[in-house]
Amino acid sequence: MIVYYDESILTYVASIRNYFGLTSSYPAHEGFTGILNEKRPEKVFLMLIDAMGSNLIERKLPEDSFLRKHLTYVTTTVFPTTTTAATTAIRNGKAPNENAWLGWCQYLKEVDDIIIPLRSCSYYDDRIYPGDVMNRYVPVEATEDELNRIGIPARNLYPSFRPDGCDNFDEMCCRLIRFSNDDTFRYIYAYWDKYDSYMHRHGPSSKICDAYLMFINNEIENLAENLAEDTMLIVTADHGQVDIGRVYNLCGSPFDDYFSIRPSIEPRAMTFFIKEGMQEEFAGKFMETFEKDYVLLNHKQVLETRLFGDHKNHPRFEEFIGDFLAIAKSDLMLDYSDKPREPLKGKIGMHAGMCEDELMIPVITYMK
């Protein structure tokens, strides 16, 4: 599958931004704009459940569940199908190539390290960087910040890993109910991560994850019933997940000799920086080994395919995509770790590739 950005999550984000008087890189979704213009909500609460792909909802929840009953439509996320790229796009209406926030880990030359942008720390060791190191060198501005600047009260709401965050999902829902009924904010972006975490650990097919998805459904139904009449609730996701049954560790493998910098971005959308003069040999060996499991694109092909977005690239986009990009198309995950990984006991969950379960996400709307 591929991403058609003019029909992706960026279109409903454009509808929301236009509703509040902001511009967007991509066209607004006609149907979603119609809903906003018909309902005319005073407050819009956008709740993002990490990894809650539309296929998981339709496969795991009964037809009469709240999330399925209020499913407005299904669309594609961005590429890579991962939190860093997708949530940044959702928060500012621009595609990953425009933001240059591409994946869980990226090489940042200012600190000569592969960092985790969302955590301001090193990916491969224990270095921690003060402040928001990625935003310092590759800044992005969120919708809530733009709205506050033009006098429309807005905020975000996160789990407890952020200041003023929520200890559990019930607390997040209770706070949204309070904000809906006290007229403090007109726009709130609320992000919840635990469903993604459970699937990474147990795999999306596990009964544990099924039970947690039903819990999420029930909590959101209670949230919706207690919102003020002037509040529209939008529930969506950044990506889905797939079950992983096989892992190949590149560290210490014959491929390790080709790398000038350790791999980055994501295990299922992995970027490689290759030593000078070894590119052709690397590509041949990689395809010989992984042809059934990964698509390999060179730097020029990545630019030509516009996988990361259709509009003008961020000035730093090209430095982050390396010499090659490998995109998963099966249940294999590439890894790079100098610590021995225990053999898989069953499945684990992962995303960032281009399988349908990773790519398709729901747009759910509710207003009394």
**57 and 146 housed in the same domain:** yes
**81 and 169 housed in the same domain:** yes
Q: In the chain, what percentage of residues exceed pLDDT 90?
A: 95
Task: Render pLDDT for 254-269 as a digit per residue (tens, 0 to 9).
Answer: 999 999 999 999 999 9
Asked whether residue 160 is assigned to any structural domain, the reply reads: yes
Task: Render pLDDT for 91-144 as a digit per residue (tens, 0 to 9).
Answer: 999 999 999 999 999 999 999 999 999 999 999 999 999 989 999 999 999 999
- Give me the mean pLDDT over the 241-266 stretch: 96
Q: From residue 201, give the alpha-carbon distance in Å to each of 208, 242, 361.
A: 10, 12, 21
Asked whether residue 169 is assigned to any structural domain, the reply reads: yes
Q: In the chain, what percentage of residues exceed pLDDT 70?
A: 98
What per-residue confidence (pLDDT) applies to 339? 78
Say how many residues make up the chain: 368
Asked whether residue 53 is assigned to any structural domain, the reply reads: yes
**60 and 163 housed in the same domain:** yes
Q: How confident is the model at residue 347 (pLDDT cuts 50, 70, 90)?
A: confident
Q: How confident is the model at residue 340 (pLDDT cuts 50, 70, 90)?
A: confident
**180 and 300 housed in the same domain:** no
**151 and 30 housed in the same domain:** yes
**82 and 46 housed in the same domain:** yes
What per-residue confidence (pLDDT) applies to 2? 78
Task: Render pLDDT for 219-229 as a digit per residue (tens, 0 to 9).
Answer: 999 999 999 99
Q: Is the pLDDT of residue 49 over 70?
A: yes
What per-residue confidence (pLDDT) applies to 345? 67
**237 and 261 housed in the same domain:** no
Task: Render pLDDT for 139-189 as a digit per residue (tens, 0 to 9).
Answer: 999 999 999 999 999 999 999 999 999 999 999 999 999 999 998 999 999
Asked whether residue 234 is assigned to any structural domain, the reply reads: yes
What per-residue confidence (pLDDT) applies to 343? 65
Contact criterion met (CB below 8 Å) for 87 and 189: no
Residue ranges making up the domain that contains 259? 246-343
**23 and 75 housed in the same domain:** yes
**360 and 305 housed in the same domain:** no
Task: Render pLDDT for 4-48 as a digit per residue (tens, 0 to 9).
Answer: 999 999 999 999 999 999 998 899 999 999 999 999 999 999 999
**168 and 306 housed in the same domain:** no
**232 and 305 housed in the same domain:** no
Q: From residue 9, give the alpha-carbon distance in Å to each of 5, 42, 93, 114, 235.
A: 8, 22, 9, 28, 12
**146 and 39 housed in the same domain:** yes
Number of domains in the chain: 2
Asked whether residue 118 is assigned to any structural domain, the reply reads: no
Q: From residue 328, give the alpha-carbon distance in Å to each of 49, 104, 270, 359.
A: 23, 16, 9, 12
Contact criterion met (CB below 8 Å) for 349 and 244: yes
Asked whether residue 135 is assigned to any structural domain, the reply reads: no
3-state secondary structure the chain: CCCCHHHEHHHHHHHHHHHCCCCCCCCCCHHHHHHHHHHCCCEEEEEEECCCCHHHHHHHCCCCCHHHHCEEEEEECCCCECHHHHHHHHHHCCCHHHHCCCCCEEEECCCCEEEECCCCEECCCCCECCCCHHHHHCCCCCHHHHHHHCCCCEEEECECCCCCCECCHHHHHHHHHHHHHHCCCCEEEEEECHHHHHHHHHCCCCHHHHHHHHHHHHHHHHHHHCCCCCEEEEEECCCCCEEECEEEECCCCHHHHHEEEEEEEECCEEEEEECCCCHHHHHHHHHHHHCCCEEEEEHHHHHHHCCCCCCCCCCCHHHHCCCEEEEECCCEEEECCCCCCCCCCCCEEECECCCHHHHEEEEEEECC
CATH of the domain at 333: 3.30.1360.180
Question: Identity (one letter) of the amino acid at 337?
Answer: S
**Sheet containing strand 360-366, strands side by side:** 71-76, 360-366, 231-236, 43-49, 187-192, 154-157
Asked whether residue 123 is assigned to any structural domain, the reply reads: no
Two tokens, residue 184: 């403090």
Asked whether residue 276 is assigned to any structural domain, the reply reads: yes
CATH of the domain at 189: 3.40.720.10
